[in-house]
Homo-oligomer: A and B are copies of this chain.
Amino acid sequence: MLKELLGPDIQDLIREKDYSALKHGITEWEAPEIADLLVSLPESDQPILFRLLPRTIAAQVFAYLPSEEQEHLLQSLTTENTRVLLSELAPDDRTELFGELPAQVTQQLLSLLPPKELKEARQLLGYPEESVGRLMTPEYVAIRPEWTIGKALEHLRKHGKDAETVNLVYVVDDKGKLIDDIRLRKLILADPSEAVATVMDHHFVALSAHDDREFAAKQMQKYDRVALPVTDSDGVLLGIVTVDDMLDVVEEEATEDIQKMAAVEALDEPYMNTSFLHMIKKRAGWLSLLFLGETLTAAAMGYFEGEIERAVVLAMFIPLIISSGGNSGSQAASLVIRAMALEEIRLSDWWRVMRREIFSGLTLGIILGAIAMLQVLLWPNRDERYGEHFFLVGLTVSFSLVGVVLWGTLTGSMLPFILRRLGFDPAVSSAPFVATLVDVTGLIIYFTMALFILGGTLL
């Protein structure tokens, strides 16, 4: 809203080179708002505005920018400006930036860091992508159990400025091992002359730097914490991850699942920022694979060519029948995949799910079968459209629908279990994947049913 109103004004000020008015106007804003404004400006104006920002604000704004804009801005900065910017960035934002830039650019940027930050950056970049290590910041405040609470608060006053959150304070022993976390309010509410040890309960939840970021989000949800400490395998405190990063994680993981469920490889980037070639690559692979799977339907149809020749009316219902199987299968698959992602369903629940879905599939199949039968029977010129054996044709379609919907529901609900059991991501048993599987078998069910019911009359 703000940027839509002020964007043109800001552009005017840039054109008029009225930098002092610009500088004055902009510094009253919050960093995310300045970032929004910057993105909305023409590319050539972005560096002008950016260079006007005070260095701490500039770093904050930079952290909020999409990676494309970050890369573009970096190109326009002098080496010295880049060095300053990098030193002002929070370590976790720095890791994210390095992780997203081309390797060559990252190497150049790393060379601008002072030794301490370089070591830190290399260490953070060493953790696997999507791991907790990539998200953590070493800017936490740690206190010792033998200190008085007064001394601990004094320490916080001195060193708390850079810490990402001082809501939770961490207690470490002389080897740096994490032994407790204490809510800041507990410290504030306690007697300052007592030792820190007196308010400790030795209850804490910690993550390992190699843990998956999805696990971290689950732990934060479970324990309702705004930050969690991260330790190495010896329990030594390495850093913290904060909940604001987790909101993005939960959203990104859901996006990946939605894309996989539609048979698209995870894009990693926003739709609009994904290049055309990249987009085709992410979609063509699965689409071709599904296509190859679907050629089996042509084989199945070839097998029943004689039946179609004798009763062309059968061909009319093919799209109807296979799509009903596909639709019911994708319903079941999506429900089960999402429930698995939310850990509502475990592998061991497969039998309970199967029992439920057998009944669901049967009920849904009977509903669709009944609609189909009614439609055939109530069609005004049914003899003309479906031939003299319209009743038997209707019966064939109805019974096939029950079979196909039941089969689709079962396949859709069980495939995620099988995939997970085999170590794959259940989200790739996407709706189209299930639909393809069900298409082939659906045709076989349909024609077998036709041979059974129409044998002797039409066939």
Chain A residues with CB under 8 Å of chain B are: 28, 30, 32, 153, 156-157, 160-161, 163, 165-167, 184-185, 188-189, 203, 205, 217, 220-226, 243-244, 246-248, 250-251, 254-255, 257-259, 261-264, 267, 270-272, 276, 279-280, 283-284, 286-288, 290-292, 294-295, 297-298, 301-302, 305, 308-309, 312-313, 315-320, 322-324, 326-328, 330-331, 333-339, 342, 344-345, 349, 352-353, 356, 359-360, 363-364, 367-368, 371-372, 375, 385, 405, 431-432, 435-436, 439, 443
Query: Which of chain B's residues has its CB closest to A202's CB?
Result: B28
Contact (A271, B345) CB under 8 Å given A247-B246, A439-B319: yes
Give the one of A205, A225, A255, A331 with max B CB within 10 A.
Answer: A331
- Residue pair A166, B185 in contact (C-beta under 8 Å): yes
- Chain B nearest CB, measured from A244 CB (Å): 4
One of B28, B184, B250, B279 near A250 (C-beta < 8 A): B250
Query: Which of chain B's residues has its CB closest to A375's CB?
Result: B295
Query: Hey, which chain B residues are within 8 Å of A287, CB to CB?
Result: 324, 327-328, 331, 364, 367-368, 405
Query: Hey, which chain B residues are within 8 Å of A385, CB to CB?
Result: 302
- Chain B nearest CB, measured from A436 CB (Å): 7
- Chain B nearest CB, measured from A384 CB (Å): 10
- Residue pair B316, A432 in contact (C-beta under 8 Å): no
One of B243, B276, B291, B324 near A247 (C-beta < 8 A): B243
What would 10 more interface pairs be, CB under 8 Å, given A243-B243, A297-B323, A323-B432? A243-B244, A254-B254, A258-B261, A262-B334, A280-B363, A294-B319, A301-B316, A312-B312, A319-B439, A327-B435
**Whole-angstrom CA separation of A435 from B295 in the bound complex:** 18
Q: Number of copies of this chain in the oligomer?
A: 2
- Residue pair B360, A255 in contact (C-beta under 8 Å): no
- Chain B nearest CB, measured from A358 CB (Å): 11
Contact (A316, B302) CB under 8 Å given A254-B254, A371-B288, A435-B326: yes
**Whole-angstrom CA separation of A251 from B251 in the bound complex:** 7
**Whole-angstrom CA separation of A325 from B330 in the bound complex:** 16
One of B28, B276, B312, B331 near A283 (C-beta < 8 A): B331
- Chain B nearest CB, measured from A90 CB (Å): 11
One of B284, B359, B375 near A364 (C-beta < 8 A): B284
- Residue pair A226, B223 in contact (C-beta under 8 Å): no
Query: Hey, which chain B residues are within 8 Å of A288, CB to CB?
Result: 367-368, 371
**Whole-angstrom CA separation of A284 from B309 in the bound complex:** 34
**Whole-angstrom CA separation of A339 from B432 in the bound complex:** 20
One of B157, B246, B319, B367 near A284 (C-beta < 8 A): B367
- Residue pair B368, A291 in contact (C-beta under 8 Å): yes
Query: Which of chain B's residues has its CB closest to A276's CB?
Result: B359
Query: Which of chain B's residues has its CB closest to A285's CB?
Result: B367
**Whole-angstrom CA separation of A319 from B443 in the bound complex:** 9
Query: Which of chain B's residues has its CB closest to A427's CB?
Result: B258
The 9 closest A-B pairs by CB, nearest first: A262-B334, A254-B254, A297-B319, A271-B339, A301-B316, A270-B344, A224-B244, A327-B432, A315-B315
Query: Which of chain B's residues has its CB closest to A201's CB?
Result: B28
Query: Hey, which chain B residues are within 8 Å of A261, CB to CB?
Result: 258, 261-262, 334
- Chain B nearest CB, measured from A61 CB (Å): 12
One of B224, B243, B250, B264 near A334 (C-beta < 8 A): B264
Query: Which of chain B's residues has its CB closest to A442's CB?
Result: B319
**Whole-angstrom CA separation of A245 from B185 in the bound complex:** 20
- Residue pair B443, A188 in contact (C-beta under 8 Å): no
- Chain B nearest CB, measured from A332 CB (Å): 8
- Chain B nearest CB, measured from A302 CB (Å): 6
- Residue pair B220, A244 in contact (C-beta under 8 Å): yes
**Whole-angstrom CA separation of A323 from B243 in the bound complex:** 42
